[in-house]
Amino acid sequence: MHKEQWQLTVEEVLKQEQSNKERGLSASEVQKRTEQYGKNVLATKKKTTLLQKFIEQFKDLMIIVLMIAALISVFVGEGVDAMIIMLVVILNAVFGVFQEAKAEEAIDALKSLAAPQAHVRRDGRVQTIKSEDLVPGDIVLLEAGDIVPADLRLIESASIKMEEAALTGESVPVNKAVAPIEGENPALGDRKNMAFMNSNVTFGRGLGVVTGTGMQTEVGRIADLINNAEETITPLQRNLIKLSKTLTWLILGIAVVVFIVGMLRGQETLIDMLLTAISLAVAAIPEGLPAIVTITLALGTQRMAKRHAIIRKLPAVETLGSTEIIASDKTGTLTQNKMTVEKVFVDNQLLNAEEVIPDTKQKLYDLMILNNDTKKIEGELIGDPTETALIAFNDSKNYQADEVIKSYPRVAEVPFDSERKLMSTINALEDGRYLLTVKGAPDELLKRTTQYVEKNQILPMNDAEIKLIRATNHKLATQAIRVLGFAYQILDEIPTALDSETVEKDLIFAGLIGMIDPERTEVAQAVKEAQQAGIRTLMITGDHRDTAGAIAKRLGMIDEDEVDTAVITGAELDQQTDEELARNVDKYAVYARVAPEHKVRIVNAWQKKGKIVAMTGDGVNDAPSLKQADIGVAMGITGTEVSKGASDMVLADDNFATIVVAVEEGRKVFANIQKAIQYLLSANLGEVLTLFVMTMMGWQILAPVHILWINLVTDTFPAIALGLEPAEKDAMKQKPRGKNASFLSGGVASNVIYQGILEGAITLFVYAMALRFPDHATATQIHADALTMAFATLGLIQLFHAFNSKSVHGSIFSATTLKNKFFNWSIVISFVLLAATIVVPGLNDLFHVSNLNLHQWMIVIFASLSMIVIVEVVKLIQRTLKK
């Protein structure tokens, strides 16, 4: 049966890789293997050119509709409007190309992570080579500070430790070993005899044989997952595509009907009816919609940036607002990625770290300082996170580590060994004797203790004391607290043999220290707020089941009675097919001991349930799932460049609570886009109905120039200003919209219909009144006045209706109605531009309108104001029925 590298002995793996521990590979063998396996670099999928990216942007249906609108504008002689529309189209395309190019940085960042050099043994001597020149079978030398250049099977270890958080999610460096590992497919974090490409050596020395290079490494597998991750379409893009298709068919249908009816009546020429159909098409197309959506999203990104959420892809702003699942990495995201002393068991008391720690016969503080390799450089603690946490704890108690180290210099040591799980030091005392300090796993420590300290007395160890210590250890472990035991002995002389059997015996138990990678203080509240907003928060981590479950419980993600059922491991996930996982996925809130491909499967499973998933993470191992998720959220401070490159949003402060802030902003952006769409579509429907009825009635109709000017004046500034509206007070008390919700949901579609009909009806009423009760005698002047009053009413009614659109269902008579100063000025500017075409000499001739008198203006203004009154009454009825 085939064995994996971690299952083999050192001799077996060297034989499999056809390598020699003492001599390494020969130059000729290296050349042969380079030709066979290629360079030790990560492959990338073929990139599209800038021109291809640019052309791809024009395949969007809304863009095609806009380009048709531009052609129509040119056809009717409105070259300025055509230029404006095409400028919007080109700007959108350029922006799209920029965003796509940024997204391709993920793999490039992976490549830049690779170690630039490697120390190898070739032809019997140590050489320093470029890491890209490594081949399987190379013997690599490792020491503290090195970046692992390829996947290695360790064949020698001198207390070597590696930091693998970016790959496995482990929050502390891992002690490595060389012994074979049993098990068919252990998690990456459990493969203690393997060293993975791009992990860091934090302590000790080692020797490894290369077993995988380039795309055959674990990082290479991640690169492959990123390359093959499906590009997900955002809810915003889905909504706009759906809206574009609907508008296209409506526009074509109405234009064709009007053209056919007009020709059948025989009252108009072919050119006249073609122009009429074009006018209808121009009226129906919301030319400014893509620009308004882009501007609203851009304004949202600016607001988010001020609140530490950096948006890399514009549609992500709106996608955040519809998020239903937040799948979060634990280490560095939900937790601080910094070990901290939380509990102290001393003198048979379990105390919180902030409490006063009693002195014992041999101070526990001293043992923590002396049995420690932490260095303090310019005030910063450098070393193993567990050991730096012990020094930081002493610093917090104002206990001077430097003085203790100076008073009791180290004269000998027995280094940490992953087999015995202990570390010992021997320090000189002032009286000529020596202090032996031992720290490590409590169970291993207890095997070597014969006494313990209680109330400054050294007492013989007994079963009751052992039972108490073990019970305390178990209690802390179930709370995701990592426990270290401390013991000591006073020696008259330094042992002749510095080994465990000789040194670590007849010890005096001093106490336990409980440490944890603590949760961020603000996360529990953020999880609670997310729950109130109908968003489910999940934890996905490489950590052990108990640790993950305990942290999730502390954060309020799961209840006490859910620890057994709501937590699942990567090994258990492997036993489920994708279909089974999709069926069962809502049962789980915590995923422990997972690999990169598990994260992608989890995201996929939720997406199959129709959920919109946000995935947070900071490591290389998070990149594939960040890209697969509807929105990937990377950490800005601790996050790798790979995770940032694969993400849609980066948290500048690494604060999980910022995600909830971003969700609120996303919901606000969606609501504001929805308001703008309701405003634009109802206005355009009013224009279409006005032209349609005028055509059917045989009246003189508004010309394309009138419709284009109204659209230019009323669709631009007020619609953009609606994107600056503040969030409504209950935005985070509502459930997520879900994937199937659209901009027309939540009553917007019915509002568009009745408000559009209302706008058209009021405009037609004013036109009919002007014909029925003219202020002039000549037919030409009567028709000119009627057309001008219809033009003014249709434009002015839209400006008043913009106030209605500030809330889909809420009343405009509130304290916030006039709060948006940009909106107020947009209405004033739009009114001036609209009125100027009627009152300014020369302009009214250009627009083929007449100068209205005061009586006619009063009719126009009061008719337009009636729009606010009627809509307010309908909103009141809607709110009453909803109760």
Active site residues: 329
Strands of 649-651's sheet in order across:
309-311, 649-651, 631-635, 613-617, 325-329, 536-540, 590-592, 567-569
- Closest C-alpha among 695, 712, 798 to residue 255: 695
In single-letter form, the type of residue at position 345 comes to F
DSSP 8-class letter at 173 = P
Token output for 493 = 């002389």
Token output for 768 = 């009919």
How crowded is residue 430: how many other Cβ atoms within 10 Å of its Cβ?
A: 7
- Closest C-alpha among 491, 387, 511, 498 to residue 446: 511
What is the spatial distance between Cα 403 and Cα 358, in angstroms, rounded to a whole number? Answer: 20
User: Hey, is 516 helix, strand or coil?
Assistant: strand
How crowded is residue 607: how many other Cβ atoms within 10 Å of its Cβ?
A: 20
DSSP string, 416-439: EETTTTEEEEEEE-TTS-EEEEEE
In single-letter form, the type of residue at position 883 comes to K
DSSP 8-class letter at 89 = H
Residue 173 half-sphere exposure toward CB, CA atoms < 13 A: 22
Helices 235-265 and 289-306: crossing angle in degrees, nearest 10, is: 160
Chain mean position to CA 48:
25
In single-letter form, the type of residue at position 32 comes to K
DSSP string, 809-872: SS-S-STTTTT-HHHHHHHHHHHHHHHHHHHSTTHHHHTT-PPP-HHHHHHHHHHHHHHHHHHH
Token output for 747 = 């009553």
- Closest C-alpha among 664, 632, 646 to residue 540: 632
DSSP 8-class letter at 7 = G
Token pair 């159909």 is found at: 277
In single-letter form, the type of residue at position 99 comes to Q
Which residues, 6 or more positions from 412, have their beta carbon under 8 angstroms from its beta carbon?
Answer: 425, 426, 494, 498
CB 293 within 8 A of CB 672: no
Task: Report how far apart, in Å, the C-alpha atoms of 410 and of each of 9, 26, 429, 462, 722 are.
Answer: 36, 44, 10, 31, 70
In single-letter form, the type of residue at position 45 comes to K
